[in-house]
Structure 1
Amino acid sequence: MSASADPDGALPGVAQLPDAQGLLHPAARHVAQSEPGPVPAEPAARTSRPVLFVLAAAALLVSVAVSVRIGTTDVTYTALLRAVGAHLGLDTEPLPRLVDSLIWDLRIPRVLMAALVGASLAVCGAALQALTRNALADPYLLGISSGASTGAVAVVVLGVGAGAVGVTGGAFVGALVSFGLLMLLLRRSGLDSVRIVLTGVVVAQLFTALTSLVLMASGDPEIIRAITQWLLGSMASARWDAVAVCAVVTAVGLAVMWVYATALDGFSFGADTAASLGVDVRTTRTVLLVVTSLVTAVAVAAVGAIGFVGLIVPHVVRFLVGPLHRTLLPFSALVGALFLVWTDALARVAFAPQEVPVGVFTALLGVPLFLLVLRKRGEL
């Protein structure tokens, strides 16, 4: 089947299937192979990609350590090592209580949360771009962010369940409600990629309107200001319990999506191609929609809505390492984590002592990066 028969747009960096001759592009032939690995035509990538992955992982570790030091109050590496050693039970001299709390209770959870959220959003973006064959797909395509925003606003403004769930819980419940509505609508209309995109846009617009309505009804400038800041995303409220939840959900979500990597390669060429490779299209789409939605819901509930990470990072990684998802997904996780760790550090110090919501900087950096990727690919 020709790729042109599919009404959906193709992903940048993924070649189209040819027409009548029935010969597949090397990347498409690789999808059909039972054993995953680099495309045979790219022998150099076999050695360079593992090395690149190790370097990216090392860069992430260094970035986390450096980012912990950055803020209105500088922290030395010695103090960082002493704080970590003391809490791990090592024989180190304890720090003054205030400094120890600054490092262990505020800085480290914040930086780890940035890394986890960046990784989760980037991986979800990569999966959804393949699943929907839409180059502009990101984790907020399904309306999850809008539903989370409505839930958070309902708790703050209306006091709905404030004592029981708080803002984070309200955001998570709102995200699940929006996803439930999405799946209910898709149950009747089907799970093809066009309907997923269009239904997600409708659900997002509905919950965006509800959020605006509740905010206008509040009439309190302080509440509106606080909610607006939350909607733009911030790591300031990150604590160890939230980091633990986000870490577990991100790890499980990445593992599930990695298991479906070959199926995602097939979806990149269209549902018919995926089905010809033996993929149960409907079941796979349902599983991946549920997983990406839950991962996104946890991330948004923890730190608010942070845009452009799930959109731009997969395109950058695809440009660097290719479109195959066994490589694309783990690299997206690392690059997404790196991107958000440094963006959050910039948000802390750019206008110190006032902190700027990290979503502002992800947009400011994401737009030119996205345009650069498009230009490199000759699409701009």
Structure 2
Amino acid sequence: MTRSNISWFRRGVPMLAILLLSGCSSLSYYTQLASGQLALLRAREPVADVVADPQRDPRLREHLRTSQQAREFASQHLHLPDNQSYRLYADIHRRYVVWNVFATGEFSLDPVTHCFPIAGCVAYRGYYDENAARGEAALRKLEGKDVYVSGVEAYSTLGWFNDPIISSMMNWGDERLATLIFHELAHQRFYVKDDSEFNESYATFVEEEGTRQWRAARGMPPETASSETRRRDQLTQLVLATRDRLKALYAEPLSPQVMRERKAAEFERLRDEYRQMRDSQWGGDKRFDSWVYAPMNNARLLPIGLYDQWTPAFGALFRQVNGDWPAFFAAVEKMGDLPADQRKTALERLMRAD
């Protein structure tokens, strides 16, 4: 993911829904999903072949060589699936692999969801063609929806296919690529339908703890939060506070015109608070200006915080099993099998214990 779109808020990668027909969606939509996935599968080649080929870019070969060390570590030390995922490479010759379209009501923070037989319900629709994504967004906007289109550099098929390392990920550093491998293999190990907060928080914990152990295994010092990470987290908190205020606003019995005016005022408040923080605490660092000052709506706020909500709870669970990965995964699976309300209660209990 690039820093120019919303996905810089977290390292996690949105998942493309499994390619199965659903009666509520058009055949043309699934046709482009199937053809896009098939093209990606056809582009795959073993990483080992790329690394061994002296005609390939030396930087690419070295980056992929290091990625395979992380891939082996994932299976051998983190007890993540041992398959061909991320042992393959695909050059797609474009910046993003898919574009996701998010939509909400004009006065709602609830996403328009799309449900699939395997992946469950998700808060976006993915398109392999940018023009098709923007066409979908235009149609939803004509319906009065707030919409947002986000380019995505990688996605997971939850183990239904052997997912490759994609050329769109090659601008990432070695460690960031390793974290992606840990995160996505965690999804392959366990996934709960219709609970994105659980799935992403769990995979984010595996990513973070896996990265800590990966650094230790390589003799590297513990990672300290960079200034960019700290500032991104501070901005995330501003956005979450804005979302909470908007949620309260949308529950009020106001006329549409008054609601629009107050909605716009909340987005201006976000920009004002950001500007004060940027200038007084960050020394005028403008790296996030392009996101903050772009046209703002409810849909742009949807992905924020998705990857973090329950991460501390999974940290507490990991400590309860004394850092034993198989015991941790068994406990996660047991919790994931609970009804949704009981699962949430269990997570809240772990948060209090953290």
* TM-score range normalised by the length of the shorter chain: 0.3 to 0.5
Q: TM-score scaled by structure 2?
A: 0.32
Q: TM-score scaled by structure 1?
A: 0.31
More strand by share: 2
